Amino acid sequence: MRQVFAPWRIEWVRRDEERPDDGCVFCAFAEDDADRENLVVARSERAFVLLNNYPYNPGHAMVIPDAHTGEYGDLDDEQLLDHARLKRRTFDALETALEPDGFNAGLNLGDGAGGSIDDHLHTHVVPRWEGDTNFMPVIGDTSVIVEALEDTYDRVREAFADQDGTAVPEDGGAVVVE
Ligand SMILES: [Zn+2]
């Protein structure tokens, strides 16, 4: 049976269950200071980059506007440009850190698109390697995931830090980009 490429079907965000009733987990990450713990690896003025806690592939990231909306048309020009520029930096950082053969990137908009969080826009950026759909396992061991995520976080963070126009906080958290 051919494996379907559908990373949004396994989207899962850390601490989702710890915030059962007070709204949007992406807004919580946008406002929280615990970037390393939350896997927020970079921030711009109006958006941030979050590593998926349950990656389809290593380096599976989401580029997320700070603004809480599920409507693409709600973003103003500054928000759109900031989000696009951060997405470009994310491609560059993942390229440097992980040397993939390519990327899939995209948004899931609306109830019918299959995303698990549909009220706060997020662009998936998924590094791809030749043949990865053939060996990509269903990951079941949480300790392995966390270990791999921490390693990925450090590698991607370092790649962001090496880009021009960035500031690197001493607390080990998200790289701040222009
Ligand atoms: Zn939100």
Lowest mean pLDDT among 4-8, 131-135, 161-165: 4-8
Per-residue pLDDT reduced to its tens digit, 72-84: 999 999 999 999 9
* Total domain count, the chain: 1
Give me the pLDDT at residue 9, please: 43
CATH of the domain at 135: 3.30.428.10
Beta bridge partners of 106: 124
Average predicted confidence (pLDDT) for the chain: 82
CA distances from 175 to 35, 36, 38, 130, 147 (A): 10, 10, 13, 29, 20
Domain assignment present for 173: no
Minimal CA–CA distance to 169: which of 42, 74, 51?
A: 42
Q: Is 122 a catalytic residue?
A: yes
Q: Judge whether residue 133 has pLDDT over 50.
A: yes
| pLDDT-derived band at 22, boundaries 50, 70, 90 | low
Give the structural domain span for 103.
9-165
From the CA of 136, how far away is ligand 1's center (Å)?
30
Per-residue pLDDT reduced to its tens digit, 32-72: 989 999 999 999 999 999 998 877 788 999 999 999 999 99
From the CA of 47, how far away is ligand 1's center (Å)?
12
From the CA of 64, how far away is ligand 1's center (Å)?
9
How buried is residue 171: exposed, middle or buried, by Cβ count under 10 Å (0-12/13-18/19+)? exposed
Domain assignment present for 177: no
Of the residues 60, 83, 120, 122, which is catalytic? Answer: 122
From the CA of 96, how far away is ligand 1's center (Å)?
30
Q: Hey, what's the torsion of the CAs at 92, 60, 144, 142, to 10 degrees?
A: 150
Instruction: Return the CA Rg of the chain.
Output: 15
Domain assignment present for 175: no
| pLDDT-derived band at 13, boundaries 50, 70, 90 | very low
Domain assignment present for 176: no
From the CA of 155, how far away is ligand 1's center (Å)?
27
Domain assignment present for 51: yes
From the CA of 111, how far away is ligand 1's center (Å)?
16
